[in-house]
Amino acid sequence: MTDQNEEHRVAMAKQQQKQREIIKSKKKSNKGLLLVNTGDGKGKSTAGFGTVLRALGCEWKVGIVLYVKGKWKTGEREFFNRFSDLVDLRVMGEGFTWDTQDREQDIRAARKAWAVSCDMMQSGKYQLVLLDELNIVLRSGYLPLEEVLEGLAARHVDTHVIVTGRNAPDGLMEAADMVTEMKKIKHPFDAGIKAIQGIDF
């Protein structure tokens, strides 16, 4: 038993040393990062909102622009609206969904939401800006990718930005500092189960 403990202690001490060296070789970021959550599995938006929560706990000022589901009542909207002094939550126009079926209106709404996003990102007022489902808008061709990349690059030096949504374009992933792909292993929707309030919205 004592031998086992001693072996463990030596192994852990070695690991601790290794870890310290790895951390020492890294430097502190001197700019806000661009993070992208994409893929066909669930969790892209919830990971974004989770980061918002963490940031608020660190007393950061946060901006959120919702590019889809604008009209729908969701748990996250209800929650963040209770903290409007801490989070600036904006919703794109009428809320672009397959419900609108009006391309011109969707494009106008996307343009407006993008203008709001650029203001937020450039103001320096926010340490974190979440652009939820911006990828969907890009995928639909409602905003040109070049313009979006320019806007993201022009963000305030201290502002981190998270972009979510399936099918992140290659150019966006190249520009990003972190890209996470949520991979579907299983989803209850495939088993015929409807979206669940509190879990899915």
- Looking at the Cβ atoms of 61 and 62, the one nearer to ligand ATP is 62
Contact partner at residue 189 from Mg ion, ligand ATP, none, CB < 5 to 8 Å by partner kind? ligand ATP
Q: How far apart are CA 183 and CA 198, in angstroms?
A: 21
Q: Which of 38, 45, 117, 135 binds Mg ion (CB under 5 A)?
A: 45
- The site for ligand ATP (CB under 6 A) is made up of 40-46, 164, 166, 182, 184, 187, 189, 195, 200-201
Q: Helix, strand or coil for residue 22?
A: helix
CB 165 within 8 A of CB 92: no
DSSP strand pairing (128-132 vs 160-164): parallel
- Looking at the Cβ atoms of 159 and 164, the one nearer to Mg ion is 164
The distance of closest approach from Cβ of residue 44 to Mg ion in the complex, given in angstroms and rounded to an integer, is 5
Using CB under 5 A as the binding rule, whether residue 135 contacts Mg ion is answered as no
- 53-72 binders of Mg ion (CB under 5 A): none
Residues 6+ apart with CB under 8 A from 48: 37, 130, 132, 162, 164
CB 149 within 8 A of CB 172: yes
Using CB under 5 A as the binding rule, whether residue 159 contacts Mg ion is answered as no
The distance of closest approach from Cβ of residue 65 to Mg ion in the complex, given in angstroms and rounded to an integer, is 13
Q: How many helices (H) and strands (E) does the chain have?
A: 7, 6
Contact partner at residue 94 from ligand ATP, Mg ion, none, CB < 5 to 8 Å by partner kind? none
Residues 195, 200, 201: CA angle, nearest 5 degrees: 105
Contact partner at residue 195 from Mg ion, ligand ATP, none, CB < 5 to 8 Å by partner kind? ligand ATP
User: Which residues here bind Mg ion, judged by CB under 5 A?
Assistant: 44-45
